[in-house]
Structure 1
Amino acid sequence: MSSHASNHARVIPLRPELRPGLRPDPRPAPTEPAGPEGPASKEPLWRDVVGDVLRRERLAQERTLKDVADAARISLPYLSEIERGLKEASSEVLAAAAHALGLGLADVLALGRSELLRLATSASRPAVRRAPAREGEGEVRLAA
């Protein structure tokens, strides 16, 4: 070991785009078709919506990523990537994460659907007309 070597670790600040809360989006920017009113509004991606649902449910239960990842038998980094919308999880992985949170896969999908509808109606574009739902259709009831 040279006499100039130090036992102190050198601190290198993170680039702004790598700081927590400011993660870069690794996905390529979508090309938006231009219409008479300009570019179409960006639709939310399913993986972002599902990740938001899982994170919201986990935080509402005041549980850590490690706790849920261990219960679901998913690696912590992978669950983190799912929550951040960086990975498109299989139905088996989503079901495992849902069950670890005390939910069923149908619950997560229904919450995701509600979030998609909320995002779609908040966007400035015409609403899609739908046939009225049959009684009980689309309802999700959660029991404690």
Structure 2
Amino acid sequence: MTENVRPRPLLRTVVGETLRRHRQEQRRTLAEVAREAAVSVQYLSEVERGRKEPSSEILAAVCEALGVELSELVVEVGHELAFDRVPADVVRLRLATITSIAPATRAAPPIHRTGDAMLMAA
């Protein structure tokens, strides 16, 4: 059975895409953000295209120029990397602890069984 999963993208690619998305949502140009972050337009463009791996100092400067917390960027990028390999028609389920129903006179210990899962949906 062959799994239909795309190869995992590079970190620098997802970082660049996320920075670009924030910039475009703000309707700002590369030049504006690059000037505020004190980096060249060409360098910022290469970061956004995933061709350059920015240092933590550059990331912090670009995030500040965009008004985005660095921690927020890291969470967004991590989420994208974590869920990128999941095929669209598959829902990930986490194993849950199942507690058996016991008479009120005694407490039942949690039961852990392989294959048990709990689906929580909103």
Structure 1 segments, 4+ long, off by >4 Å, are: 127-131
Cα pair 2:7 2:85 within 8 Å, conserved: no
Residue of 48, 55, 70 corresponding to 2:13: 48
1:78 to 1:113, Cα distance in 2 relative to 1, 3 A: same
Q: Which has the higher contact order (CA 8 A, sep 6+)?
A: 2
Residue deviations 1:88-143, cap 9 Å, x none?
Answer: 11111011111100012111111111211231223799x69689xxxxxxxxxxxx
**Which residue in 2 is equivalent to 1:90?**
55
Match of 1:113 among 63, 78, 99: 78
CA 1:117–1:73 in structure 2 vs 1: closer, same or farther (change >3 Å)? same
C-alpha RMSD of matched pairs (Å): 2.7
1:58 positional shift? 0.2
TM-score (norm 1): 0.57
Are 1:103 and 2:90 matched, yes or no?
Answer: no
Q: Which protein shows a greater Rg? A: 2
The SS at the match of 1:120 is coil
The CA distance in 2 between the partners of 1:120 and 1:59, in whole Å, is 25
The verdict on how the C-alpha distance between 1:105 and 1:117 changes in structure 2, with shifts beyond 3 A counting, is same
Compared CA separation, residues 62 and 128, structure 1 to 2 (3 A):
same
Alpha-carbon distance between aligned partners in 1 of 2:95 and 2:89, rounded to the nearest angstrom: 18
Instruction: Specify the code of the residue in structure 2 equivalent to 1:79.
Output: L
Q: How many residues end up aligned between the 2 structures?
A: 96
Amino acid at match of 1:114: H
Structure 1 segments unaligned to the other structure (5+ residues): 1-35, 132-144
Q: How far apart in 1 are the matches of 2:95 and 2:78?
A: 14
Identity of aligned residues (%): 45
CA displacement, residues 31-52 of structure 1 (integer Å, 9 cap, x when unaligned)? xxxxx959x8511110000000
Unaligned ranges ≥5, structure 2: 97-122
